[in-house]
């Protein structure tokens, strides 16, 4: 936890209400997200019990597994869920690739990723918490290797949904991705509460802090949310008391009806179980849309569109891969794909962190505290200064910034950037202390037009508030890795060709 | 053990390793405790392989390490042409430029008649595929190299000698994921770990004596951080001494801490218990004050290298910290005291370096909790094993209690070997020893 977040938490505890720690929203929100709340049966890694799903707050769709211990029933449930989710996904996939695209990228057999233009938008999935995302990853894993023929066949939509859930769960690990958004993570990123991170993972308690009911403090609202009768857990685990006192009885009734063959009784028992599960899910359904509204009310940060374009790209590539008949995602990464993925994750994490600091003064404030940035006022400016040491005179304006921040940059150190003028480079010429404040003399380069007079507004004027930072989002060539067939002996040599097997569907993680 | 005996033991170990190289099918791993002559081994192995007609690629992890190694190689092999592969903008450091037999180029094609070519792993990784792989590679600081980095350069060589210190900091990543835990090629683990998991037949040798650490430190560091292999100091207690040119007038707590350290090799300068920010002004100030006072009083050392007393100059003192913000704060405090040239850096950047005296700001000083980051054995080991004469630790009181309250609770994963030594255990062992050298600041 950073210093400013710690301070915000103390403040939140003192005033009884969560504090904003971001000025803008750093995650993409779709106009029509698909909200999905999965519930699992206690005691098994991946037995689905129910799910509430939909893109309209007024029309939640409830899917229940009446006998979660029956594997056949589980995959019937997955097929039902696939119907809802795949229909939503289809709405974002253009019916047919444009004729030109097929020519360009068709022959590569799925390796054409990156050649087809990305779709205009991608479907967003919102789940209550990171555990729900992890659970969906497991469900995807158990579904994507299932066969539509042979022993225990499933409907063709089951492996397809498995691939999509896997894709969404893998994207959820990527910094800045919002394809599958856990609500508690998104909220906690923007508000600091007076409780621990662990407690923040309780959606009801978190929203209690952010938006306590009239007359209540955040503490009171959060405590009320801990009562599983008033605020059932947001899943995927269910309340044990509910399991013992309600669920067990309803499931027994369903089994009894099945044994006796009484169709009317079976129907009644199923309706009773639906009602019980709906009672567990409806409060969370309401909270999810409240959280959505809270986030939607924040203005979107400047770089969010770019981050979302990475998600759209990944969605497009996955569609293209499936159209080209590509295999389901392998159970494990091989040496090369693991190293590639790590390099890309690290690069993305770095870029997203820099983007967020550029977009949001409250994030930049963290870097000002660690000495990676300083903010101050321009007190002197020589916008037409020229460097005449070379053959040709070059425009190199000097500005002096006075700041009360602690300045750790030094002359001849790394160059600086300003979020207001990201294309411009600033070199530190001198750092002097002056009556408890620090003056930094900077030499500017680039982003001022081609002539020897800077274009208007390109050099900060005297009196302007500016921020300079060592954070830079610069182009870095992606590192080269050997091909899979060239995996060296140090890493076990080339792996065997991956062929999906039935064993891959095992539900252990 | 006398110095001659120590030299004999070290020589036998080196001979064994050179013999292994001659018969190795794929490679050899050499574990080297702090100051055990790792660079000497690299230099003699490179010379030996080159003598037998093999071209050798040498791999360092940072440009600093590469330049240090070039200096060592060039001094010992003044007639062997040495190639330095580098980025186009590289300007040879003074210690590289002064050697006539070193050529710096940005492409390997310009270095074909150089039997020894050296570069960072990142630079090697950028080389294009070539027809003839190098017969031998020597990979320095291999425990600090991440396995994905090895993956990128392994196509370049047939056989390799991996040299490194297993007790130092593991490589790290800026992203947290459990995705690859337990895989034989986890890209986040060290190059040596992945190499040995996939090639268990590769022999691992250990260098037995530390030339750097004094007898007072070798026993402590060996027991806390190298509990299974162990090592001894090449010198005995009397071989290394530290004295003062002046006597303190009205000795302060700082003086007492310095004198304890000069006498015993260790000092714990303990401030009152308190929870603080990483840039704890008192602790930072104490680090700077200790360094300043040491210089003021004129410390001199006598060692096996020089029976004549040698002054401890500012560049022979290091202040080791955990975080970059602390580096900046300590540097500022030193400036205010008018002290220049004392080296201040984080543990990561002090790896592989050597000083007469180190002052360490304890990673757990003033903390409310002990996280895996702060408990990491490698971090403490680096900070506690850079000195030839004395190490002074600055810490807030209450670290043993903090450790007791935070036993390590890291999850255990299938297929991931349990890492020894455990950071929590190493911290306890280290603090138990330091407690005997405590000076409480008023």
Cβ-nearest to A336 among B151, B175, B177: B151
B23-B25-B30 Cα angle (round to 5): 75
Q: Which residue of B has its CA nearest to A169?
A: B179
Window from B15-24, B45-54, B85-94, B302-311 with minimum mean pLDDT: B85-94
Check residue B433 and give its pLDDT: 95
Q: Which residue of B has its CA nearest to A351?
A: B174
Check residue A449 and give its pLDDT: 84
Say yes or no: A323 and A383 in one domain: no
Positive or negative torsion for Cα A188, A128, A208, B371: negative
**Which residues of chain B are within 8 Å of residue A345 when distances are taken between CB atoms?**
175, 177
Tell me the per-residue pLDDT of A265-293, one tens digit each, with 9 for 90 and over. 999 999 999 999 999 999 999 999 999 99
Mean pLDDT to the nearest integer, B281-294: 96
CA distance B404 to chain A (A): 22
Say yes or no: A263 and A379 in one domain: no
Q: What share of chain B is helix, strand, coil (3-state, %, to 5)?
A: 40, 20, 40
CB atoms within 10 A of CB A93: 17
Sequence-separated (6 or more) residues with CB below 8 Å from residue A369: A2, A3, A4
The pairs formed by B49-52 with CB atoms below 8 angstroms and a separation of 24 or more are B49/B21, B49/B135, B49/B136, B49/B138, B50/B77, B50/B80, B50/B115, B50/B116, B52/B22
Q: Which residue of A has its CA nearest to B201?
A: A490
User: What's the CA gap between B171 and B191, in Å, rounded?
Assistant: 9
8 A C-beta contact, residue B138 and residue B56: yes
What is the 3-class SS of A140-185, one letter each residue? Answer: HHHHHCCCCCCCCCCCCHHHHHHHHHHHHHHHCCCCCCCCEEEHHH
% of chain B residues with pLDDT over 90: 64
Q: Quick check: A481 and B152 CB within 8 A?
A: yes
Window from B12-16, B412-416, B434-438 with minimum mean pLDDT: B412-416
Say yes or no: A239 and A327 in one domain: yes
Q: Quick check: B151 and A481 CB within 8 A?
A: yes
- B52-65 burial code (b ≥16 CB/10 A, e <16): eebbbbbbbbbbeb
CA B408 to chain centre: 24
Cβ-nearest to A332 among B125, B160, B183: B183
Tell me the per-residue pLDDT of B37-77, one tens digit each, with 9 for 90 and over. 898 999 999 999 988 888 899 999 988 889 989 999 999 88
Check residue A113 and give its pLDDT: 47
Total count of domains within chain A: 2
- Answer whether residue A225 is part of any domain: yes
Mean pLDDT to the nearest integer, B189-210: 93
Q: Quick check: A335 and B199 CB within 8 A?
A: no
Q: Quick check: A335 and B185 CB within 8 A?
A: yes
**Which residues of chain A are within 8 Å of residue B325 when distances are taken between CB atoms?**
370-371
Say yes or no: A152 and A291 in one domain: yes
Cβ-nearest to A349 among B152, B175, B180: B175
Helix residue ranges per DSSP H, A360-480: 361-369
A433 pLDDT band, cuts 50/70/90, is confident
Q: Quick check: B151 and A335 CB within 8 A?
A: yes
**Which residues of chain A are within 8 Å of residue B179 when distances are taken between CB atoms?**
173, 333, 338, 341
**Which residues of chain A are within 8 Å of residue B188 when distances are taken between CB atoms?**
342
8 A C-beta contact, residue B88 and residue B106: yes
CA distance B146 to chain A (A): 10
Say yes or no: A319 and A246 in one domain: yes
Window from A84-88, A495-499, B215-219 with minimum mean pLDDT: A495-499
Say yes or no: A186 and A316 in one domain: yes
Locate B53 and state its tokens.
């007609």
User: What's the CA gap between A365 and A426, in Å, rounded?
Assistant: 20
Check residue B158 and give its pLDDT: 92
Q: Residue holding tokens 């062997």?
A: B80
Check residue A99 and give its pLDDT: 45
What is the 3-class SS of B157-190, one letter each residue? Answer: EEEEEEEECCCCCCCCCCCCCCCCCCCCCCCCCE
Q: E strands along B195-280, which residues? A: 204-206, 209-210, 232-233, 241-244, 266-271
Residue B187 pLDDT greater than 90, yes or no: yes
Q: Are strands A48-54 and A34-40 parallel, antiparallel or unpaired?
A: antiparallel
User: What's the CA gap between B389 and B241, in Å, rounded?
Assistant: 7
**Which residues of chain B are within 8 Å of residue A409 when distances are taken between CB atoms?**
none
**Which residues of chain B are within 8 Å of residue A332 when distances are taken between CB atoms?**
183
- Answer whether residue A405 is part of any domain: yes
Locate A184 and state its tokens.
């508690």
Residue A102 pLDDT greater than 50, yes or no: no
- Answer whether residue A337 is part of any domain: no
- Answer whether residue A343 is part of any domain: no
8 A C-beta contact, residue B227 and residue B233: no
Q: Which residue of B has its CA nearest to A170?
A: B179
- Answer whether residue A480 is part of any domain: no
User: How far apart are the two ends of chain B, measured CA to CA in Å?
Assistant: 40
Tell me the per-residue pLDDT of B221-253, one tens digit each, with 9 for 90 and over. 999 999 888 899 999 988 899 999 998 888 899
Say yes or no: A266 and A402 in one domain: no
**Which residues of chain B are within 8 Å of residue A479 when distances are taken between CB atoms?**
125, 152
Cβ-nearest to B185 among A343, A349, A492: A492
Q: Are strands A373-382 and A398-403 parallel, antiparallel or unpaired?
A: antiparallel
Cβ-nearest to A489 among B187, B199, B324: B199
User: What's the CA gap between A281 and A7, in Å, rounded?
Assistant: 35
Say yes or no: A305 and A384 in one domain: no
8 A C-beta contact, residue A367 and residue A358: no
% of chain A residues with pLDDT over 90: 68
Q: Residue holding tokens 């009801």?
A: A204
Q: Quick check: A486 and B148 CB within 8 A?
A: no
Check residue B131 and give its pLDDT: 67
Residue B277 pLDDT greater than 90, yes or no: no
Give the residue numbers in B contacting A (CB under 8 Å), as ranges: 26, 125-126, 147-148, 150-152, 154-155, 160, 173-175, 177, 179-180, 183-188, 191, 194-195, 198-199, 277, 324-325, 328
User: What's the CA gap between B138 and B160, in Å, rounded?
Assistant: 6
Residue B373 pLDDT greater than 70, yes or no: yes
B281 pLDDT band, cuts 50/70/90, is very high
Q: Quick check: A491 and B154 CB within 8 A?
A: yes
Please give the C-alpha separations between residue B128 and each of A481, B107, B155, B159, in angstroms, as whole numbers.
Answer: 11, 10, 10, 19
Q: Residue holding tokens 């469900």?
A: A139
- Answer whether residue A345 is part of any domain: no
User: What's the CA gap between A347 and A16, in Å, rounded?
Assistant: 38
Q: Quick check: A342 and B191 CB within 8 A?
A: no
Tell me the per-residue pLDDT of B133-160, one tens digit each, with 9 for 90 and over. 899 999 999 999 999 999 999 989 999 9
By C-alpha distance, which of B78, B77, B81, B71 is closest to B102?
B81
8 A C-beta contact, residue A186 and residue A28: no
- Answer whether residue A361 is part of any domain: no
Q: Quick check: B184 and A492 CB within 8 A?
A: yes
Say yes or no: A189 and A261 in one domain: yes
Mean pLDDT to the nearest integer, A396-424: 89
By C-alpha distance, which of A335, A331, A326 is closest to A481?
A335
**Which residues of chain B are within 8 Å of residue A371 when distances are taken between CB atoms?**
324-325, 328
Residue B58: which H helix or E strand, with range?
strand B56-60
Helices B63-76 & B38-51 angle (0-180, nearest 10) = 60
Of residues B91 and A80, more confidently modeled: A80
Residue A330 pLDDT greater than 80, yes or no: yes
Which range marks the domain in which residue A105 is found? 3-331
A182-A6-B383 Cα angle (round to 5): 105
Check residue A133 and give its pLDDT: 94
> Judging by beta carbons within 10 Å of its beta carbon (0-12, 13-18, 19+), is residue A506 exposed, middle or buried?
middle
Mean pLDDT to the nearest integer, A40-49: 88
Mean pLDDT to the nearest integer, A235-260: 92
**Which residues of chain A are within 8 Å of residue B156 when distances are taken between CB atoms?**
none
Q: Are strands B387-396 and B266-271 parallel, antiparallel or unpaired?
A: parallel
Cβ-nearest to A338 among B175, B183, B325: B183
Residue A192 pLDDT greater than 70, yes or no: yes
Check residue B412 and give its pLDDT: 84
Check residue A506 and give its pLDDT: 63
- Answer whether residue A507 is part of any domain: no
Tell me the per-residue pLDDT of A105-154, one tens digit each, with 9 for 90 and over. 333 334 444 568 889 999 999 999 999 999 999 999 999 988 888 888 88
Tell me the per-residue pLDDT of A482-493, one tens digit each, with 9 for 90 and over. 888 889 999 988
Of residues B196 and A98, more confidently modeled: B196
CB pairs under 8 A between A and B: 91
Q: Which residue of B has its CA nearest to A332?
A: B180
By C-alpha distance, which of B146, B155, B92 is closest to B127?
B155
Check residue A204 and give its pLDDT: 95
Say yes or no: A31 and A160 in one domain: yes
Backbone dihedral region for residue A447 (phi beyond 0: left; psi -120 to 50: alpha; all else: beta): left
Residue B319: which H helix or E strand, with range?
strand B317-321
Locate B156 and state its tokens.
């370049």
Check residue A108 and give its pLDDT: 37
Say yes or no: A397 and A326 in one domain: no
Q: What share of chain A is helix, strand, coil (3-state, %, to 5)?
A: 45, 15, 40
Q: What is the pTM of this model?
A: 0.88
Of residues B108 and B35, more confidently modeled: B35
Q: Which residue of B has its CA nearest to A370?
A: B325
Residue A69 pLDDT greater than 90, yes or no: no
Q: Quick check: B154 and A338 CB within 8 A?
A: no
Locate B351 and state its tokens.
């790896």
What counts of helices (H) and strands (E) characterise chain B?
16, 19
- Residue at which a domain ends, from A313, A331, A349: A331
Q: Quick check: B173 and A479 CB within 8 A?
A: no
**Which residues of chain A are within 8 Å of residue B184 when distances are taken between CB atoms?**
335, 491-492
The partner residues of B301 in beta bridges, in order of sequence, read: B242, B310
Say yes or no: A385 and A303 in one domain: no
């Amino acid at each position: 936890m950073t210093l400013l977040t710690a301070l915000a938490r103390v403040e939140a505890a003192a005033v009884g209400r969560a504090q904003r720690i971001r000025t803008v929203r750093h995650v993409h929100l779709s106009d029509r997200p698909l909200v999905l709340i999965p519930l699992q049966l206690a005691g098994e890694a991946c037995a689905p019990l129910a799910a509430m799903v939909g893109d309209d707050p007024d029309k939640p769709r409830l899917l229940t597994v009446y006998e979660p211990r029956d594997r056949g029933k589980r995959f019937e449930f997955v097929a039902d869920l696939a119907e809802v989710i795949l229909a939503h996904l289809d709405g974002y996939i253009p019916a047919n690739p444009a004729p030109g695209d097929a020519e360009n990228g068709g022959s590569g057999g799925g390796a054409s990723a990156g050649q087809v233009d990305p779709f205009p938008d991608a479907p967003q999935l919102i789940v209550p918490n990171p555990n729900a995302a992890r659970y969906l990853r497991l469900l995807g894993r158990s579904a994507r290797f299932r066969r539509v023929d042979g022993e225990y066949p499933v409907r063709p939509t089951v492996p397809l949904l498995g691939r999509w859930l896997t894709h969404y769960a893998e994207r959820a690990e990527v910094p800045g991705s919002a394809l599958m958004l856990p609500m508690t993570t998104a909220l906690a990123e923007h508000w600091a509460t007076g409780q621990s991170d662990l407690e923040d993972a309780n959606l009801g308690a978190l929203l209690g802090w952010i938006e306590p009911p009239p007359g209540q403090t955040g503490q009171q609202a959060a405590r009320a949310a801990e009562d599983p009768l008033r605020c059932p857990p947001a899943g995927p685990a269910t309340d044990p008391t509910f399991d013992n006192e309600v669920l067990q009885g309803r499931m027994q009734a369903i089994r009894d009806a099945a044994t006796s063959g009484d169709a009317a009784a079976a129907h009644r028992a199923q309706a009773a179980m639906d009602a019980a599960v709906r009672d567990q899910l409806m409060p969370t359904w309401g909270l999810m849309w409240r959280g959505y509204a809270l986030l939607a009310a924040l203005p979107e940060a400047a770089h969010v569109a770019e981050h979302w374009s990475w998600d759209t790209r990944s969605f497009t590539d996955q569609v293209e891969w499936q159209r080209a008949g590509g295999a389901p995602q392998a159970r494990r990464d091989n040496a090369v794909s693991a190293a590639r993925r790590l390099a890309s994750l690290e690069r993305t994490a770095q870029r997203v962190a820099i983007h967020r600091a550029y977009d949001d003064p409250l994030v930049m404030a963290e870097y000002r505290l660690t000495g990676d940035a300083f903010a101050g006022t321009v007190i002197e400016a020589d916008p037409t200064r020229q460097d005449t040491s070379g053959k040709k005179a070059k425009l190199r304006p000097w500005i002096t910034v006075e700041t009360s921040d602690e300045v750790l940059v030094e002359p001849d150190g790394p160059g600086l950037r300003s979020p207001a003028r990201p294309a411009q480079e600033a070199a530190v010429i001198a750092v002097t202390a002056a009556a408890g404040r620090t003056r930094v003399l900077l030499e500017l380069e680039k982003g001022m037009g081609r002539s020897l007079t800077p274009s208007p507004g390109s050099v900060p004027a005297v009196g302007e508030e500016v921020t300079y930072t060592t954070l830079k989002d610069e182009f870095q060539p992606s590192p080269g890795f050997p091909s899979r067939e060239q995996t060296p002996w140090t890493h076990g040599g080339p792996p065997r060709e991956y062929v999906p097997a039935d064993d891959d569907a095992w539900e252990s993680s | 053990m006398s110095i001659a005996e120590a030299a004999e033991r070290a020589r036998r170990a080196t001979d064994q390793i050179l013999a292994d190289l001659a018969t190795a099918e794929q490679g050899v791993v050499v574990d080297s405790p702090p100051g055990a002559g790792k660079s000497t081994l690299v230099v003699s192995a490179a010379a030996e392989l080159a003598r037998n007609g093999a071209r050798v690629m040498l791999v360092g992890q940072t440009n600093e390490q590469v330049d240090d190694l070039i200096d060592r190689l060039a001094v010992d092999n003044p007639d062997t042409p040495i190639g330095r592969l580098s980025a186009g903008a590289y300007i040879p450091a003074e210690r590289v430029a002064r050697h006539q037999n070193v050529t710096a180029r940005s492409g390997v094609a310009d270095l074909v008649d150089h039997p020894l070519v050296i570069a960072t792993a990142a630079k090697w990784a950028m080389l294009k595929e070539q027809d003839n792989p190098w017969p031998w590679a020597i990979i320095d600081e291999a425990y600090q190299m991440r396995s994905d980095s090895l993956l990128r350069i392994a196509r370049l060589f047939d056989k390799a000698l991996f040299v490194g210190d297993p007790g130092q900091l593991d490589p790290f990543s800026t992203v947290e994921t459990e995705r690859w835990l337990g895989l034989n090629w986890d890209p986040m683990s060290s190059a040596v770990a992945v190499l040995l998991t996939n090639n268990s037949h590769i022999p691992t040798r250990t260098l037995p004596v530390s030339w750097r650490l004094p007898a007072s430190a070798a026993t402590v560091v060996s027991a806390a951080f190298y509990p299974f292999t162990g090592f001894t100091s090449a010198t005995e207690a009397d071989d290394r001494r530290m004295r003062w040119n002046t006597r303190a007038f009205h000795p302060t707590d700082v003086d007492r801490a310095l004198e304890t350290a000069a006498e015993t090799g260790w000092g714990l300068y303990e401030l009152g218990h308190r929870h603080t920010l990483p840039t704890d002004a008192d602790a930072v100030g104490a680090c700077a004050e200790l360094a300043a006072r040491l210089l003021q009083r004129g410390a001199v050392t006598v060692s096996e290298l020089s029976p004549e007393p040698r002054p401890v100059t500012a560049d022979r003192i290091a202040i080791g910290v955990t975080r970059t913000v602390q580096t900046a704060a300590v540097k500022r405090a030193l400036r205010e005291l008018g002290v220049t040239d004392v080296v201040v850096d984080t543990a990561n950047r002090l790896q592989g370096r050597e000083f007469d005296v180190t002052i360490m700001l304890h990673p757990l000083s003033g903390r409310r909790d002990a996280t895996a980051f702060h408990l990491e054995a490698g971090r403490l080991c680096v900070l506690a094993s850079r000195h030839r004469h004395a190490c002074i630790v600055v810490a807030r009181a209450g670290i043993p209690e903090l450790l007791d309250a935070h036993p390590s609770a890291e999850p255990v994963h299938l297929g991931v070997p349990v890492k020894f030594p455990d950071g929590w255990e190493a911290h306890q062992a280290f603090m138990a020893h330091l407690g005997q050298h405590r000076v409480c600041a008023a």
